[in-house]
A and B are shown apart, each in its own frame.
Chain A
Amino acid sequence: SYVLTQPPSVSVAPGQTARIACGGNNAGRKTVHWYQQRPGQAPVLVVYDDGDRPSGIPERFSGSSSGSTATLTISRVEAGDEADYYCQVWDGTTDHYVFGTGTKVTVL
């Protein structure tokens, strides 16, 4: 089955940039979506179709994709960005949805 691997944790100081990688076989050739999950809350879509933002999501959130890795970038990190982040793809080979392993972002 298809696997998406993320780093377990990323730490960043306020005002700095956090980058979260999502790696998988040819991940850069699949369409990647990103979700933010704050403690005790349901996930929220923050980036879709590799790099688009839903309405209401700050421009500080951006996505990119190349080769076997997709990346979520959070610029000018704020305390409220502290959360778990998951990438997700649709694997058309198997008709399955796949989530990444998740990354906990800690704001120092």
Chain B
Amino acid sequence: QLQLRESGPGLVQPSETLSLTCTVSGGSISSTDHYWAWIRQPPGKGLEWITSSYYRGTTYYNPTLKSRVTVSVDTSKNQFSLKLTSVTAADTAVYYCARVTYTSSWRRRFDPWGQGILLTVSS
């Protein structure tokens, strides 16, 4: 059974860079049938897609965050990572990683999800 787990600091200073890692177990991140995604949820608010990456490098970005986001995939460690630069209090959220399954180019869903990690931006 595939599982994902997010890791990273719980607190980030304003204007600094947020770094998170998602470790995948029970399956390979090099799967040709899946992408790997980051999604966030500010406290009390809805879900916001951040980015999705294929292990060979194709990446899609939420246009509102694209200029601040960097994604990397480490197949040797079965991990993928997110960096978000110049963070502000508005970036405070629970960050989830998830696998994207696509059965065709227009059928893309997130399943499963990691448990999530709360990142607080504060001095």
Whether B106 pairs with A42 at a CB distance below 8 angstroms is: no
Range, interface on chain B? 20 to 34
Q: Which residues 103-123 in B have Cβ within 8 Å of A in the complex?
A: 103, 105-116
Q: Which residues 69-104 in A have Cβ within 8 Å of B in the complex?
A: 86, 88, 90, 92, 94-102
Inter-chain contact count A-B, CB under 8 Å? 64
**Which of A35, A44, A88, A92 touches B106 (beta carbons < 8 Å)?**
A92
Whether A88 pairs with B110 at a CB distance below 8 angstroms is: yes
Whether B46 pairs with A96 at a CB distance below 8 angstroms is: no
Per-position contact with A for B81-123: 1 when CB-CB < 8 Å, else 0?
0000000000000001000001101111111111110000000
Whether A92 pairs with B116 at a CB distance below 8 angstroms is: no
Whether B113 pairs with A42 at a CB distance below 8 angstroms is: yes
Whether A45 pairs with B111 at a CB distance below 8 angstroms is: yes
Whether B109 pairs with A88 at a CB distance below 8 angstroms is: yes
Whether A49 pairs with B114 at a CB distance below 8 angstroms is: no
Interface residues of A (CB under 8 A from B): 1, 30-31, 33, 35, 41-45, 48-49, 54, 86, 88, 90, 92, 94-102
Give 18 pairs: A residue, B residue, CB < 8 Å, sorted on A.
Answer: A1-B63, A31-B106, A43-B96, A43-B113, A44-B112, A44-B113, A49-B107, A49-B109, A54-B111, A88-B47, A88-B110, A90-B102, A90-B107, A92-B105, A92-B106, A97-B37, A97-B49, A99-B46
